[in-house]
Structure 1
């Protein structure tokens, strides 16, 4: 345990109250893996942002584990990881622009008329510039919105790569097994689950980090083994060369080639 680390203390409390890391992973329905718990208890947890995995485990613990988060004597998971809140900087007042006085020899009425004409001209120029800017921005936003939507749809509609280097790699599922999907980008077409500790063959790996639970690497394996052939499964659900009992330090087996 990392001394004085609130997040680590809270995770250790969750592990203790559920009877162990594997039990916590199973009771939470796979919201967090044993490998991730090993990393968190060693102090290797999200420090730049509160990840989806942390939020999901925090929500589950609030509803399923009486005493959380106060029993551990430290803040909750989402309150003890990620960056600290930052206050905004001081507000600097705008500089006051004063008109340049007219020539002292000009009559007062002429000076006033000249100043009024100059001010009116400046306001007209500023107003025209603002109007043109608003029109341009509105036009650009109107044009960009459908383009952005179309680009997102096109990305999802692109065929998934499925070619490795011709050599299959064996991977072993972790202690809680692994889920499978037809499309790792949208989690559509869920397939049969892979039982714990199942050894199977994978063809290649694909980067699709949109699902929070596949962090930190964001890779998926394309499975070759018959029962799950053609389906995708999160790389961090496999042992990736680590041995049972830990330490679990590999979220991805980078010997598996990238899908092309």
Structure 2
């Protein structure tokens, strides 16, 4: 199967501290790929290099056959950051309209995409409320809607369900699985939550900027003779915090 993302020997440090040790990773097209690890292990830094927000000190990242960063990937990659990048003085609808216009949709397409994204995150009834009045969970949901707005081939989500209630979290995961299975989207998600990691098709476990194990959840548990992914981390010697 062709790779959606190829990471070749990338490394990154900040203020003389190595955040990402030299690592390589291939992520195939289609399916949900999880980056699992404790806070501070380098997940967000790795994600930012994949989307081209920061440059690696060494190595290269290729996304859909384009070396990152590349403007040609604008329509093909949806990104939800760990911190919400929203215009709080605008309403939810105005935020979605603003981002939809960036992708040069027709008025009809914008309306359809906004309706779809709002329904997925259950914000339809709150679109006319200023984002300044949204709760933290509502802002996370709006950020996810923004990432979905352009119907990207690759969806990259950094801790997308933090602060979201269990019922909505289940609904969002069902849609992510539908997108990967029915629409053949490639979805990359960072998490430190084991029940989410279990739902991923494949995983890479990170600790201190290194990939310490990779494979399907079932294969990892078999490889390390473990009943749970928590046990896998403990067997490797890097329990989650």
- Structure-2-length-normalised TM-score: 0.28
Q: Which has the higher contact order (CA 8 A, sep 6+)?
A: 2
Larger fraction in strand:
2
**Over alpha carbons, which structure has the higher Rg?**
1
